[in-house]
A = this chain, B = another copy of it.
Amino acid sequence: MAKINHRRSRKAGLPPGSLVHIGEKRAERAKITIMDYDGETFQEKEAKSVEECFSFKETATVTWINIDGVHDSGLVGKLGSHFGVHPLILEDIMTTAQRPKMEDLGDYIYVVLRMLSSEKGKDGVFSEQVSLILGPNFVISFQESAGGDVFDPVRDRIRTGKGRLRTLGPDYLAYALVDSIVDNYFLVLEKLGERVEVLEEELVTDPDQKTLHEMHALKREMIYVRRSVWPLREVINGLERAESPLIKQTTGIFLRDVYDHTIQVIDTVETYRDMLSGMLDIYLSSVSNRMNQVMKVLTIIATIFIPLTFIAGVYGMNFRWMPELEWRWGYFLIVGIMLAIGILMVIYFRRKRWM
């Protein structure tokens, strides 16, 4: 799981708008890919230098510039200044612990959200910051690393020209990117949901200290997912209500759709949280119940034998005059009495439902 608190302090004291990368250190070079299309034409290429993108600013076609890696302040700075992005926005792009938010800056809209993923075969939720710049005829997206993203279906739709994507503007492209990120949340939630179910099973069959730690881990990840999703509601609401010419009215219904999905994700997270707290109660009660069972049985055994041992002790005393010791059947009588006492106690405990 990504750390909750990045070493943001590295930047304390620098003037605002300083481009310093805050996040995990990365060595690889940033990767720039460009997709340029309209209803008829389509071109896709990987740019070697940031300058290759510049020409696309003025074209009439829709351009999607995707940057994998935001640790290169030179690249981000050049791109930003050519496309007229405010330094504070560039700073936000490079500081990879942003809370999802949306800002309408007139010439362009800036959206930052978190892409969640859960590795195959492993537990834990991983999170990456994705920034989008929506301009009049371009969308620039910034991702933290070149590792896989969730945009491939969007790329395929652009390449094949299926669906509305090629015929609609950059706002629809931005929506499609946001939509694929939100759709991916369902995948992450399903995995969390499976773990919740496994835990619930375990709770009935064989709860131990590990179950508790797993519960705690799940709860932490829920907190984490929640932190990523809650502010998204506002973000998408903001996009829907933005009175910006950059977002056409026809995109509104699609944004409302993503909004509904977001609500559903939040709803599910809250339900899981409720279930987890319920499970904690069950767990604590199960553990103490099992412990009580053990203690009870053991205590009962001890309790039955203690009076019997006392009787044996009495006839182990060395008094000279103890008439019973001389009796012919004394021993068998006493052993019989002991047996009787033992059996009566067992019956009593049974009747009291203590056994």
Question: Which residues of A are in contact with B by a Cβ distance under 8 Å?
Answer: 4-5, 7-9, 11-17, 86, 88, 91-92, 97-99, 101, 103, 105, 150, 152-153, 157, 162-165, 176, 179-180, 183-184, 186-187, 189-190, 193, 204, 209, 212-213, 216, 219-220, 223, 227, 253-254, 256-257, 260, 263-264, 267-268, 271, 274-275, 278-282, 284-289, 291-292, 294-296, 298-303, 305-310, 312-322, 324-331, 334-335, 338, 352, 354
* Least distance between A13 CB and chain B CB atoms (Å): 3
In the assembled complex, which residues on chain B have CB atoms less than 8 Å from the CB atom of A285? 209, 212, 284, 287
Given contacts A12-B180, A16-B176, A223-B271, 13 further A-B contacts (CB under 8 A): A5-B268, A7-B190, A9-B187, A11-B183, A88-B253, A88-B254, A99-B267, A103-B256, A105-B253, A305-B309, A308-B313, A318-B318, A319-B325
* Least distance between A160 CB and chain B CB atoms (Å): 10
A190, B9: Cβ atoms closer than 8 Å: yes
Report 19 cross-chain contacts, Cβ distance below 8 Å, ordered by A residue.
Answer: A8-B190, A9-B183, A14-B153, A16-B254, A88-B254, A92-B260, A97-B264, A98-B264, A99-B263, A209-B289, A213-B282, A287-B292, A288-B288, A305-B310, A310-B312, A313-B316, A317-B331, A321-B329, A321-B330
Contacting A164 at CB < 8 Å: which of B15, B150, B278, B326?
B15
In the assembled complex, which residues on chain B have CB atoms less than 8 Å from the CB atom of A267? 99, 227
B319, A278: Cβ atoms closer than 8 Å: no
In the assembled complex, which residues on chain B have CB atoms less than 8 Å from the CB atom of A253? 86, 88, 105
In the assembled complex, which residues on chain B have CB atoms less than 8 Å from the CB atom of A328? 321
B12, A183: Cβ atoms closer than 8 Å: yes
In the assembled complex, which residues on chain B have CB atoms less than 8 Å from the CB atom of A105? 253
Closest to A280 in B: B281
In the assembled complex, which residues on chain B have CB atoms less than 8 Å from the CB atom of A300? 298
In the assembled complex, which residues on chain B have CB atoms less than 8 Å from the CB atom of A150? 12
* Least distance between A318 CB and chain B CB atoms (Å): 5
A23–B293 CA distance with the chains assembled, in angstroms: 43
Contacting A186 at CB < 8 Å: which of B8, B162, B352?
B8
A354, B294: Cβ atoms closer than 8 Å: yes
A295–B315 CA distance with the chains assembled, in angstroms: 29
Which has the most chain B C-beta neighbours within 10 Å: A99, A153, A280?
A: A99
A319–B285 CA distance with the chains assembled, in angstroms: 50
A165–B16 CA distance with the chains assembled, in angstroms: 10
Contacting A223 at CB < 8 Å: which of B176, B275, B280?
B275
B286, A209: Cβ atoms closer than 8 Å: yes
In the assembled complex, which residues on chain B have CB atoms less than 8 Å from the CB atom of A274? 223
B152, A13: Cβ atoms closer than 8 Å: yes
* Least distance between A201 CB and chain B CB atoms (Å): 13
Given contacts A285-B212, A286-B209, A295-B299, contact A322 B318 (CB under 8 A): yes
